[in-house]
Amino acid sequence: MLEFRTEPIKNIRIALIGLGQRGMKTLERYAYIRGAEIRYVADLDEERLDIANAVLAASGRPQARKMVGEEAWREVCRQDDVDLVYICTEWRTHTPMAVEAMTCGKHVAVEVPIATTIEECWQIVDTAERTRRHCFMTENCCYDNFALATLEMSREGLFGELTHVEGAYIHDLRDTLGLSASAAAKQQVWMEVSFARHGGNAYPTHGMGPIGWLINLHRGNRMTHLVSMTSNGAGTDRMLGKVNSTLIHTAAGITILQQLDVTTPRPYSRLQTICGSEGYAQKYPLPTLRLADSDKLLTGEDALNKADGFMQKNPASGYWNEGRSIGVPNEMNYAMDCRLVHCLHYGLPLDIDVYDAAEWSAIAPLSKLSAEKGGMPVEVPDFTRGRWDVLTSHRFYQ
């Protein structure tokens, strides 16, 4: 599936499974995206389907056919007039739904993470290779403007030789997870199990996505092994304050630090740190740049303005700029979906392929295993089966 292409699709017909928060945002976003239509909507709750069709009507789009119930997702996968199954359900359902959709001959786009076990990662890869269908993980942070900018800087050699990179998901979700003392936070949600009780880094892809492109994972480089540790929890249920730190080594000798922290008051951050022999960049907490072609340290707005000039060189920048100009709620999501539709429309390899999806998602079970064994090194599988160095760099096909 390296640089995999299919026949161009003139108008992408989408079946959207799951109409919770992420699913509804996706449905709303596609009102702005040309060359695709929501043909089916599927959910357990018929009221959500009615709301979805009301949103479609309000934006002047045709009504979608409604599929409701426990088996609705299987039913939409089998429809002949569907090109892409877009999965926005709870994490544990992602792999079986994606496998079924590809087996039914459909391309798939799946919310993060695409899998929660190594076995599921292999299932995803095996099925994509067997069915010759695209499997795209919707990691929007890859399309962050600063990430796109630093990708271009690296390609121009402005960091020198990359030696160390950092990514994270640091977000105070104590209320959302039902872990705070506030009255509004008494009801716990399924995310609590996936985050605070996981034991490792349950949500690695926001940090890993931009890094994977930057250091060319399975495009001349690969992760070889990792070690992971999680701090003790606090509070009556020992869930507060748990922070996971995972350190990964690559074949090229680059080290990667990944962190997950959703139960401390620490301010939001994805780190986005790049260390090279001649340059440095970091987005959080203060945008900072020091590039090989200048002795000047740039911070704050100066760093962001400098980065914007590089971002404009990236093939995804046009969609990012377009999203901002028309006022979409999230330019990263908009650029991501526009790029997906563009590549399917022209029969191009996707920005995020099935090996990206498996590699980035695999950090969750591997970090848990290492942390449970006291930080013991754990090998990272090569999902390309030895073809990780066939390509030399990540590309945006146009």
Task: Give me the mean pLDDT over the 308-326 stretch.
Answer: 97
DSSP 23-37: HHHHHHHTTS-TTEE
Q: What is the pLDDT of residue 172?
A: 92
Q: Is residue 34 part of a domain?
A: yes
* Amino acid identity at 144: D
Q: State which residues form the domain around 248.
A: 141-312+341-379
Q: Is residue 358 part of a domain?
A: yes
Least trusted range by pLDDT, from 89-103, 176-190, 248-262:
176-190
Q: Is residue 389 part of a domain?
A: no
Q: What is the pLDDT of residue 183?
A: 43
248 sits in which H/E element: strand 243-250
**Is 23 in the same domain as 101?**
yes
Q: Is residue 186 part of a domain?
A: yes
The residue out of 102, 137, 172 marking a domain boundary is: 137
Question: Residue 95's domain is classified under what CATH number?
Answer: 3.40.50.720
Of 17, 2, 192, whose CA–CA distance to 96 is shortest? 17
Contact 27, 16 (CB under 8 A): yes
C-alpha torsion angle, residues 316, 279, 304, 201 (rounded to 10): 70
**Is 154 in the same domain as 246?**
yes
**Is 128 in the same domain as 228?**
no
pLDDT one-digit tens code per residue, 160-196: 999 999 999 999 988 877 777 664 555 555 566 576 6
Quick check: 325 pLDDT over 50?
yes
Q: What is the pLDDT of residue 292?
A: 97
**Is 276 in the same domain as 165?**
yes
pLDDT one-digit tens code per residue, 204-240: 999 999 999 999 999 999 999 999 999 998 887 788 8
Q: Is residue 198 part of a domain?
A: yes
C-alpha separations of 341 from 72, 212, 271 in Å: 24, 22, 29
Contact 270, 283 (CB under 8 A): yes
Residues 6 or more apart whose CB falls under 8 angstroms from that of 187 comprise: 178
pLDDT one-digit tens code per residue, 16-75: 999 999 999 999 999 999 999 999 999 999 999 999 999 999 999 999 999 999 999 999
Q: Is residue 148 part of a domain?
A: yes
**Is 210 in the same domain as 89?**
no
Tell me which residue has tokens 């709301």.
Answer: 51
Tokens of 31: 């009102």
Q: What is the pLDDT of residue 196?
A: 65
Rounded mean pLDDT of the chain? 95
Question: Residue 283's domain is classified under what CATH number?
Answer: 3.30.360.10
Contact 103, 131 (CB under 8 A): yes
Q: What is the pLDDT of residue 113?
A: 96
Q: Is residue 393 part of a domain?
A: no
**Is 68 in the same domain as 150?**
no
Q: How far apart are CA 282 and CA 288, in angstroms?
A: 5
Alpha helical stretches, state H, 30-166: 46-58, 72-77, 94-103, 118-131, 145-155
Contact 200, 371 (CB under 8 A): yes
Task: Count up the domains in the chain and report the number.
Answer: 2
- The HSE-up count of residue 375 (CA atoms within 13 Å, CB side) is 7
**Is 33 in the same domain as 125?**
yes
Q: Is residue 74 part of a domain?
A: yes
Backbone angles phi, psi at 236, to 5 degrees: -65, -30
Task: Give me the mean pLDDT over the 128-134 stretch.
Answer: 98
**Is 78 in the same domain as 178?**
no
Quick check: 378 pLDDT over 90?
yes
Of 173, 223, 243, whose CA–CA distance to 360 is shortest? 223
**Is 110 in the same domain as 146?**
no
The residue out of 137, 169, 203 marking a domain boundary is: 137
Task: Give me the mean pLDDT over the 274-278 stretch.
Answer: 98
**Is 198 in the same domain as 162?**
yes
Q: How far apart are CA 240 and CA 196, in angstroms?
A: 8
This prediction has a pTM of 0.96
Instruction: Fill in the DSSP letter of residue 359.
Output: H
CB atoms within 10 A of CB 253: 12
**Is 146 in the same domain as 128?**
no
Tokens of 348: 């191009």
pLDDT band at 323 (very low <50, low <70, confident <90, very high): very high
The residue out of 121, 137, 153 marking a domain boundary is: 137
Q: What is the pLDDT of residue 182?
A: 61
**Is 108 in the same domain as 149?**
no
